[in-house]
A and B are shown apart, each in its own frame.
Chain A
Amino acid sequence: GQSLEQPSEVTAVEGAIVQINCTYQTSGFYGLSWYQQHDGGAPTFLSYNALDGLEETGRFSSFLSRSDSYGYLLLQELQMKDSASYFCAVSAPTGFQKLVFGTGTRLLVSP
Chain B
Amino acid sequence: NAGVTQTPKFQVLKTGQSMTLQCAQDMNHEYMSWYRQDPGMGLRLIHYSVGAGITDQGEVPNGYNVSRSTTEDFPLRLLSAAPSQTSVYFCASSYSPFGTTRNPPLHFGNGTRLTVT
A71 close to B (CB within 8 Å): no
Q: How many residues of B contact A (CB 8 A)?
A: 28
Q: Which residues of B contact A45 (CB under 8 A)?
A: 105-107
By the criterion CB–CB under 8 Å, are A42 and B42 in contact? no
By the criterion CB–CB under 8 Å, are B109 and A98 in contact? no
Interface size class of A (residues with CB under 8 A): 20 to 34
Q: Which residues of A contact B97 (CB under 8 A)?
A: 97
By the criterion CB–CB under 8 Å, are A30 and B103 in contact? yes
Residue-wise, chain A 41-65 has the 8 Å CB interface mask toward B (1 for contact) of 1111100101000000000000000
Partner of A102, one of B42, B99, B106: B42
Q: Which residues of A contact B99 (CB under 8 A)?
A: 30, 91, 96-97
Q: Which residues of A contact B44 (CB under 8 A)?
A: 101
By the criterion CB–CB under 8 Å, are B42 and A97 in contact? no
B residues neighboring A (CB under 8 Å): 31, 33, 35, 40-45, 48, 50, 56, 58-59, 90, 92, 97-100, 103, 105-111
